[in-house]
Amino acid sequence: MEELDTIDLQLLKILGNNSNQTIKELALQVNLSPTPVLQRVKRLENNGYIKKYIALLDYEKFSHGFIVFCNIKLKQHDKNIGHNFVEDIMKIDEVIECYNVSGDYDFILKVFARDMKHYQNFVFNKLGSVESIGSTHSSFVMAEIKNLHNISL
């Protein structure tokens, strides 16, 4: 793994907070000319430090601001059951994030829905059709307190 210098770390922090900046704007912030900044950013992209650039959407504007964390226990721990679960979850639009975790549950889903009725329909009709699920436990988000998309470097 390559060693990142302070300028690389500055660029990652700046882009992590706002990736919608020109190379010229980035260069001004790190006190370099645009050409070496472009080379650094390309190297960081090519080496996987920057996975992709995205727009963060406000799901409430789309009437999908009802956030639920759904904990999943599989019926049993078996390679095929786990693989089938992942395949099924990847097809469900309401599931925004899915994590395989240790502890009392096997997976945690982050689900966006319009409201409780929409979530209920999701649980009965979509999650209910995923045969590998043994049990679920839902926690409803009352307020988002902190949601950073950057790490402390």
CATH 3.30.70.920 given to domain 59-140: yes
- Topology agreement, domain 6-46 and domain 59-140: no
Q: Which two tokens stand for residue 92?
A: 């469900």
pTM score, whole prediction: 0.82
Pick from 84, 77, 13, 90: nearest CA to 44: 13
pLDDT at residue 56, rounded to an integer: 85
CATH 1.10.10.10 given to domain 6-46: yes
Task: State CA 34 to chain mean position distance.
Answer: 30
Residue boundaries of the structural domains of the chain: 6-46, 59-140
pLDDT at residue 115, rounded to an integer: 95
**Please, what is the average pLDDT of the chain?**
93
Supply the DSSP string of 20-39, one letter for each residue.
---HHHHHHHHTS-HHHHHH
pLDDT greater at residue 60 or residue 109: 109
pLDDT at residue 147, rounded to an integer: 84
CB 16 within 8 A of CB 150: yes
Per-residue model confidence as pLDDT tens digits over 91-103:
999 999 999 999 9
pLDDT at residue 1, rounded to an integer: 58
